[in-house]
Structure 1
Amino acid sequence: MPTGPSALEVAVPAAVVGAALMGLASAAQARATKQVEVARTLDPSLLTHLAHRPLWLAGIVATVAGLALQLVALAFAPLLVVQPLLVTSLVFAGLFADRLDRRRPDAVLGAGSLMCVAGLAAVLVLTQPGEDGTPAVSGPAPVVLALTLGGLTVVGLAVSVLGHRASRVLGLAVATGVLYGVTAGLMKVVAGQARDSLLEPFTHPVLYVVCIVGPLGFLLSQNAFQRGEFLTPALAVITALDPLVGVAIGVWWLGETVNHDPGALAGAGLAGLVVVAGIVVLSARAARLTPEESR
């Protein structure tokens, strides 16, 4: 990996532009979901209908371009530098969503998004998740982690069915964020297997689990976008859970490291509360701005 100021001159713009493209992708997809009939949760026909919408297809193109720029950024700078910049996609998504919906930007929604971005970036910087760990963690930790993540997903889906409109959207977002994080964590395993041989991943079940979990998470994200009047509350939950679940998998299953300094952990805890507060602000403001007939 190249180092020095010249490397950052490539990595930082690539990460920021990549985040902007991911924000544009989310806004375009959310707008397109409002143009088709509301689908039941996990109904794949939603994707069939969306595939006929040029705006949604443009969102897919923006996603691919954003991911490509993220890979460029990671080639020139470590994850600790790039990942906090990537979470700014939430702010970009809010701005693009307002533009596509022909709404004036709302200051409270903007402040809530900034709280989430700042808090999540601080968590990532303070914990300093790394990759210099043992190949795998033994003992009950991976099992407890799997049960916890599975439970979160089930609870999110249950809330999406049984809750009122606002909580249903957040329930879908929780399930989406967990599945996205699981996909990211498992992709580390696939990447490690591919370093030995390009055919190696096909001999292990992890790749096939990714091929199921990843598309399910994407379909749930489209359900969440379609059900919510505003994009940022659901996207904030997804944006927060995705990297945090990925870090949890890295630490409690793949043996990666985090900064265990008590001061850093305390700061990360406070930053996490800022993220939660930002999500509360976004959800409360969105509920207030949502027309009564749409609730």
Structure 2
Amino acid sequence: MVSSTGTSLLLAVPAAVVGAASMGLASAAQARATKEVAVGKILDPGLLRGLAHRPLWLIGMIATGAGLALQLVALAFAPLLVVQPLLITSLVFAGVISARLEHRPLDGVMVAGSLICIAGLAAFLLVARPSGNADSFTSGTRPLPLAIGLTLLTLVALVVALLARGSARVLGLAVATGALYGVTAGLMKIVAGQARSGLAEPFQNWTLYLVCVVGPLGFLLSQNTFQQGRFLTPALAVITALDPLVGVAIGVWWMGETASSGPGALAGEAIAGAVVIVGIALLSSRASHLDQVQPGPDTAAGLKASKGAA
């Protein structure tokens, strides 16, 4: 007989993986569409107005909706610590789809970097051995330190994005996006738990309304990130790695979920995190190398869009 926990995982894990595939499709489609509109100021809503007329971007929006719905299903049946790391697989889906949309072969080094990132997150999950399935804030936690840390991280990343150029700007945008996405995921876990008590329940709590602010802000930043970088995979690797790590932190610090915290486990988690960083560094260096070798079709597309808007 399958236990209730096993049944929950049978529902949650496929939902999370298919949701990751949907988000990978969404990222690839949206990234391609952002190259077809003029580059504007960071956080300018006009970018979304321009994208709204692009069929490829609308396809990405449909895929985003499907991915978020599946993520909610997964969060309703499994802990945040289980669901969030599975979302890192969207990186591979996005890389493959992006290559197809750009009519170029898959780059072996970028594929290797993506797999390294996924391996690091998978190792983190195995070492952390998450448990618990909280769907509300725990009264005994201390929310302020993490809240302050995430706020500072987001603000510093945005300052870097505003002041820097090139890869540093893309990195700042990606970090801010990943932090906001992770916070959104944590809040969505609360909303999913409230919805299980009744469809009207989320509308009676502040969490849903905060999601409606943080989520769209993170989404607008993601579109800026995709537009500023030539290659999707490096920026998306930062986003999809930081997103679950922030989600894990919220699960532990705010919602009472647990993870292994012994010296050996902490060392293993640190090593797994270092593996993710190595994967991101490999992706970034490869992207820089390819940028120097040839300008690429996305640059030409962006120039055409800028001329058309002038």
TM-score (norm 1): 0.88
| Superposition pairs of residues 136-215 of structure 1, within 5 angstroms | 136-138=138-140, 141-215=142-216
From the superposition, tell whether residues 18 and 250 of structure 1 become closer, same or farther in structure 2 (CA, over 3 Å). Answer: closer
- The offset of 1:125, in angstroms, is 2.6
Check conservation: 1:2, 1:77, Cα contact below 8 A: no
Per the alignment, residue 120 of structure 1 pairs with 121
Check conservation: 1:137, 1:252, Cα contact below 8 A: no
Distance in 2 of aligned mates of 1:75 and 1:209: 19
Equivalenced residue count is: 292
Distance in 2 of aligned mates of 1:201 and 1:80: 22
Distance in 2 of aligned mates of 1:41 and 1:167: 14
From the superposition, tell whether residues 81 and 155 of structure 1 become closer, same or farther in structure 2 (CA, over 3 Å). Answer: closer
Choose 207-216 or 16-25, whichever is displaced more: 16-25
Q: Percent of aligned pairs with the same residue?
A: 66
- Say whether residues 1:258 and 2:247 are aligned partners: no
Distance in 2 of aligned mates of 1:71 and 1:202: 16
Structure 2 segments unaligned to the other structure (5+ residues): 300-310
Per the alignment, residue 105 of structure 1 pairs with 106
| Superposition pairs of residues 79-90 of structure 1, within 5 angstroms | 83-90=84-91
- The offset of 1:204, in angstroms, is 3.4
SS of the residue corresponding to residue 290 of structure 1 reads helix
RMSD: 2.7
Distance in 1 of aligned mates of 2:240 and 2:31: 15
Check conservation: 2:162, 2:169, Cα contact below 8 A: yes
Structure 1 segments unaligned to the other structure (5+ residues): none
From the superposition, tell whether residues 218 and 261 of structure 1 become closer, same or farther in structure 2 (CA, over 3 Å). Answer: same
SS of the residue corresponding to residue 102 of structure 1 reads coil
Per the alignment, residue 37 of structure 2 pairs with 36
From the superposition, tell whether residues 250 and 78 of structure 1 become closer, same or farther in structure 2 (CA, over 3 Å). Answer: closer
- The offset of 1:160, in angstroms, is 0.7
SS of the residue corresponding to residue 157 of structure 2 reads helix
Q: What letter is aligned with 1:38?
A: V
- The offset of 1:46, in angstroms, is 1.0
Distance in 1 of aligned mates of 2:286 and 2:250: 33
Distance in 2 of aligned mates of 1:206 and 1:67: 16
Check conservation: 1:27, 1:231, Cα contact below 8 A: yes
Choose 210-219 or 197-206, whichever is displaced more: 197-206
Check conservation: 1:116, 1:276, Cα contact below 8 A: yes
Choose 281-290 or 192-201, whichever is displaced more: 192-201
Check conservation: 1:11, 1:76, Cα contact below 8 A: yes
Distance in 2 of aligned mates of 1:76 and 1:197: 16
| Superposition pairs of residues 276-287 of structure 1, within 5 angstroms | 276-287=277-288
Q: What letter is aligned with 1:39?
A: G
- The offset of 1:164, in angstroms, is 2.7
Per the alignment, residue 274 of structure 1 pairs with 275
TM-score (norm 2): 0.84
- The offset of 1:263, in angstroms, is 2.2
Distance in 2 of aligned mates of 1:102 and 1:266: 42
Choose 10-19 or 141-150, whichever is displaced more: 10-19
Q: What letter is aligned with 1:225?
A: F
From the superposition, tell whether residues 7 and 284 of structure 1 become closer, same or farther in structure 2 (CA, over 3 Å). Answer: closer
Distance in 2 of aligned mates of 1:181 and 1:167: 21
From the superposition, tell whether residues 109 and 52 of structure 1 become closer, same or farther in structure 2 (CA, over 3 Å). Answer: same
Check conservation: 1:136, 1:255, Cα contact below 8 A: yes
- The offset of 1:65, in angstroms, is 2.8
- Say whether residues 1:236 and 2:228 are aligned partners: no
Choose 211-220 or 42-51, whichever is displaced more: 42-51
Check conservation: 1:80, 1:125, Cα contact below 8 A: no
Distance in 2 of aligned mates of 1:281 and 1:232: 11
From the superposition, tell whether residues 11 and 44 of structure 1 become closer, same or farther in structure 2 (CA, over 3 Å). Answer: same
Check conservation: 1:116, 1:236, Cα contact below 8 A: yes
Check conservation: 2:87, 2:240, Cα contact below 8 A: no
Question: For each residue in 1:55-106, what CA deviation from the matched residue of structure 2 results, as whole angstroms up to 9, or x when unmatched?
Answer: 0111112222334445566677776665544321101111111111112211
